[in-house]
Amino acid sequence: MRLLEFQAKELFREYGINLLDSKSSTNIEEGRKHAKELGYPFVIKIQVPVGGRGKAGGIQKCQNDDEFEIKYPQVMDLTIKGEKARAILLEKMADIKKELYLSLFLNRSKRCYTIIASAEGGIEIESVKNQIIKEVGLGEVSDEIARQVAKEMELEGKPADGFVDTLKKLSKLTIEKEAELAEINPLAIMQDDTIMALDGKFVTDDNSNFRHEELEKYQEKTEIEERAEKSGFSLVELDGDIAVVGNGAGLVMSTLDMLSDNGGKPACFLDVGGGATTESVYEALTLISKISRVKGILVNLYGGIVKTTVVAEAFLKAYENNLIDLPVFSRLKGTESEKAKEMLQGSRTKIYDSVEEAINAAVMEVKK
Amino acid sequence: MTDIFGLLKGKPEDSDYEKKGVIVQGITGAYGSLHAKNMMAYGTNIVAGVTPGKGGQRFEDKVPIYNTMQEAVNATNAKISIIYVPAKFFLSAAKEALESGIKLLVAIPEHVPIRDTMEALELANQKGAVIIGPNTPGIMIPELIKVGIMPPMPFKAGKIAVLSKSGTLLYEISDALTKAGFGQSITIGIGGDPINGTRLIDAYEMVKDISDLEGMVVVGEIGGDSEEILAQRIIDSGFNKPTVAYIAGRAAPKEKRMGHAGAIVMGTYGSAESKISMFNKANIPVAKRPAEVPVLLAGKMRKSD
């Protein structure tokens, strides 16, 4: 899971990484209380699980009560890359000498953790210059390696010591929580030469969640996502109007791509997993019925040994129970497809021989 | 370099040539038993199953079940095993297999923690063993041996190697290849996890020197950089067999995990654009749709004639 900034900072604090004073709230009453406790000036930061907050106006300086009353609701109402505010973080302003970049990530092809650091931080990693990249194995970063990175960044004296300390703590945190990415950008050298984490990004391995009860409180799931997980489905909500359902992550992604190529806008990615049964397809339709923006459903099942009649039954049952009233465009690869087509005659579900045909029909229908 | 055909088929002088024994770990579970039957029906020589506490019984009145991998290996001398256990128990099952002398381990479970995969891999390296997966459909030489969960229909014996991160896309694209007259010499499921026991580049090394190989198809998806690294290796090694790629996830939003644990774009790391541009650099056409793969492959073959 991807933690929000304030959540990442809770972990940073626990591991002794230096931070500015900050408080997170979810409504303005709570925010007002925090404003008093912190004292002006401070920064209002939107908490969303995506980057690019500054550019979108999600980070605002605040000097007094009047500004606070205007800016807090403004920031709270922003939607950034489709993501609404989860919380608002108020953070004291900092007197910064220099901004650095530091991250540790799981290097998938090298199968080890890798440090990326730069003396020129504060901008998106893609634009960070003079990156120092060091593969560090699976264990914690040693003092020696941390010193070496600091040296390559041309840090000396107190800032170098602070950097080494921060890197080692970040590495301990990354390994203990089984993270795929831990990023501090910017990592700042303050006027007094101390090192502080001004931002935080932390992505953990979802498959290790069962070993990390302490992280459960950060788990963010909509009701639909929760139900999907219970059924063993993977579901990603998107902002279009055609729900995309299939079996297998690759196949559903591929369907999403083809739909987008043809001018369609996916409303969700829903992978029902390996085999398709009447029950699983019915449950998938149930979940989709809860997404109000959906105007049509595109189904792409590569059955293999699946009987398409079994899937057709789920569609019929869904209409019969008034679960859905939407047109379904489906491509069902499997056995008994002629019989399935017959079963669905007169219903709002159409079966197509190829996914391309199903997509074209779905896009046409939704544009109507 | 791993002699994958040696492991799966053996040598003509071997007494068990083309019927190498396979052990199924978790053979009495719902999933394990279903696929054990399917593999047997396909012609895979399942020689033993392992389920703690069920030692002494027989699977389908035929295959002996043992309590431990050590017993199963001692009794059968098998070098291949396939794991169907819940993700939480994968690491202990994998360790048991590797400690018992298994040389080819096919790891089916999805949702194995990365740290567990890494630990299993470290042991596999020490033991000189290969892990396929986790989160893989498995590996097969069509019409000869299947160690995995793939349905049989899409596949036909032939001379094209197919390497795929995705299961259903492997079936879909192999089906399209078969219908276009391109049978497969071997298909290797890389798996959809961030860390793969056999990476695309490793799978490429396994297949690139097949003597009668006529072409290769790479089915990738967003996440990580294994496609990019493969493309670079293909350029560096001067591989000249007709090769076509497909990449799923062009329309996926950034920083969202698309079903597979590994299918996530972080910044530009793992983006479809990056993979497609590297394949283009390697002169490998990238299909926009699965159905386009055989068309592009036929085109490449005409050019290389």
Hey, CA dihedral for B15, B39, B190, B210, is it positive or negative? Answer: positive
Q: What is the pLDDT of residue A225?
A: 83
Which of the residues B114, B179, B256 would you substitute to probe the A interface, choosing the one with the greatest number of A C-beta atoms within 10 Å? B114
User: Is there a shared CATH topology between the B4-132 domain and the B153-304 domain?
Assistant: yes
Exactly one of A183, A283, A313, A336 is catalytic; name it.
A183
Residues in chain A: 368
Q: Closest Cα partner for B188 from B206, B172, B211? A: B206
Per residue in B81-101, pLDDT (tens digit) is 999 999 999 999 999 999 999
Which tokens go with B173?
């694209």
Q: How far apart are the first and last CA of chain A?
A: 38
Which of the residues A4, A79, A108 would you substitute to probe the B interface, choosing the one with the greatest number of B C-beta atoms within 10 Å? A108
Token look-up 């350029």 returns B235
Q: Closest Cα partner for B26 from B36, B37, B18, B16? A: B36
Per CATH, domain B4-132 is 3.40.50.720: yes
Kindly report which listed range (A223-232, A252-261, B63-72, B210-219) carries the lowest average pLDDT score.
A223-232
Res. B276: pLDDT tops 90: yes
* Chain B touched by A357 (CB under 8 Å): no
Q: What is the pLDDT of residue A34?
A: 97
**Cβ within 8 Å, pair B118-A111:** yes
Tell me, what amino acid is at A368?
Answer: K
Q: Which of B114, B169, B267 sits opposite A126 (nearest CB)?
A: B267
- Percent pLDDT > 70 in chain B is 100
Q: How many whole angstroms separate alpha carbon A354 and alpha carbon B292? A: 13
Q: Which of B111, B169, B225 sits opposite A248 (nearest CB)?
A: B169
Q: What is the pLDDT of residue B282?
A: 97
Res. A141: pLDDT tops 90: yes
Structural domains of chain A ordered from first start: 21-92 (3.30.1490.20), 96-215 (3.30.470.20), 223-367 (3.40.50.261)
Exactly one of B103, B241, B260, B300 is catalytic; name it.
B260
Q: Over range A342-363, report the average pLDDT.
A: 92
Q: Which tops the pLDDT comparison, A128 or B102?
A: B102
Q: Residue A165: helix, strand or coil by DSSP?
A: helix
CA of B255 to nearest chain A CA: how many angstroms apart?
8
Query: How do the domains of chain B map onto residue ranges?
Result: 4-132, 153-304
Q: What are phi and psi of A134, to 5 degrees?
A: -135, 120
Q: Which CATH number describes the domain made up of B153-304?
A: 3.40.50.261
pLDDT classification of B305: cutoffs 50, 70, 90? low
Contacts of B112 in chain A (CB under 8 A): 207
- Give bridge partners of residue A13 from the DSSP assignment: none
Which helix (DSSP H) or strand (DSSP E) does residue B120 occupy?
helix B114-127
Q: How many whole angstroms separate alpha carbon B90 and alpha carbon B69? A: 13
Res. B108: pLDDT tops 90: yes
Q: Over range B229-246, report the average pLDDT.
A: 97
- Residue ranges with strand state E in A131-178: 132-137
pLDDT classification of A346: cutoffs 50, 70, 90? confident
Question: Which residue of chain B comes nearest to A266, CA vs CA?
Answer: B251
Q: What is the pLDDT of residue A275?
A: 64
Question: Which residue of chain A comes nearest to B249, CA vs CA?
Answer: A253
Per residue in A203-253, pLDDT (tens digit) is 999 999 999 999 999 988 778 888 888 888 999 999 899 999 998 999 999
Q: How many whole angstroms separate alpha carbon A225 and alpha carbon A205? A: 17
- Percent pLDDT > 90 in chain B is 95
Q: Which of A125, A126, A207 sits opposite B87 (nearest CB)?
A: A207
CA of A123 to nearest chain B CA: how many angstroms apart?
12
Res. A334: pLDDT tops 80: no
Q: What angle do CA B61, B63, B64 make, to 5 degrees?
A: 100
Question: Which residue of chain B comes nearest to A261, CA vs CA?
Answer: B251
Q: Over range B273-295, report the average pLDDT.
A: 97
Q: What is the pLDDT of residue A274?
A: 67
pLDDT classification of B117: cutoffs 50, 70, 90? very high
* Chain B touched by A52 (CB under 8 Å): no
Question: Which residue of chain A comes nearest to B246, CA vs CA?
Answer: A254
Q: How many whole angstroms separate alpha carbon B146 and alpha carbon B126? A: 26
Q: What is the pLDDT of residue A50?
A: 85
Q: What is the pLDDT of residue A199?
A: 96
Q: What is the pLDDT of residue A226?
A: 84
Q: How many whole angstroms separate alpha carbon A20 and alpha carbon A198? A: 7
How does the average pLDDT of chain A come out, rounded? Answer: 92
Q: Which of B153, B168, B225 sits opposite A248 (nearest CB)?
A: B168
Res. A307: pLDDT tops 80: no
Q: How many whole angstroms separate alpha carbon A200 and alpha carbon A214? A: 18
Res. B178: pLDDT tops 90: yes
Contact of A268 with B186, CB cutoff 8 Å: no
Q: How many whole angstroms separate alpha carbon B138 and alpha carbon B38? A: 13
**Is residue B35 flagged as an active site residue?**
no
CA of A191 to nearest chain B CA: how many angstroms apart?
31
Q: Over range A263-269, report the average pLDDT.
A: 96
Which tokens go with A88?
């608002």
- Give bridge partners of residue B161 from the DSSP assignment: B186, B216
Per residue in A275-301, pLDDT (tens digit) is 678 888 899 999 999 888 999 999 998
Contact of A121 with A128, CB cutoff 8 Å: yes
Tell me, what amino acid is at A22?
Answer: S
**Cβ within 8 Å, pair B194-A180:** yes
Res. A17: pLDDT tops 90: yes
Contact of B78 with B147, CB cutoff 8 Å: no
**Cβ within 8 Å, pair B221-A210:** no
Question: Which residue of chain B comes nearest to A260, CA vs CA?
Answer: B251
Q: Which of A49, A108, A246 sits opposite B195 (nearest CB)?
A: A108
**Cβ within 8 Å, pair A111-B115:** no
Q: What is the pLDDT of residue A305?
A: 61
Specify the pTM.
Answer: 0.92
Q: Over range B2-11, report the average pLDDT.
A: 94
* Chain B touched by A305 (CB under 8 Å): yes
Residues in chain B: 305
Contact of B287 with B244, CB cutoff 8 Å: yes
pLDDT classification of A123: cutoffs 50, 70, 90? confident
Q: What is the pLDDT of residue B179?
A: 97
Q: Over range B162-177, report the average pLDDT.
A: 96
Kindly list the distances between the CA atom of residue B109 and the CA atoms of A141, B133, B134, B151, in Å, as whole numbers in the listed order: 31, 8, 6, 17
**Cβ within 8 Å, pair B88-A210:** yes
Contacts of B266 in chain A (CB under 8 A): 105, 181, 203
Q: Over range B240-258, report the average pLDDT.
A: 95
Token look-up 């950097």 returns A163
Exactly one of A72, A91, A101, A313 is catalytic; name it.
A101
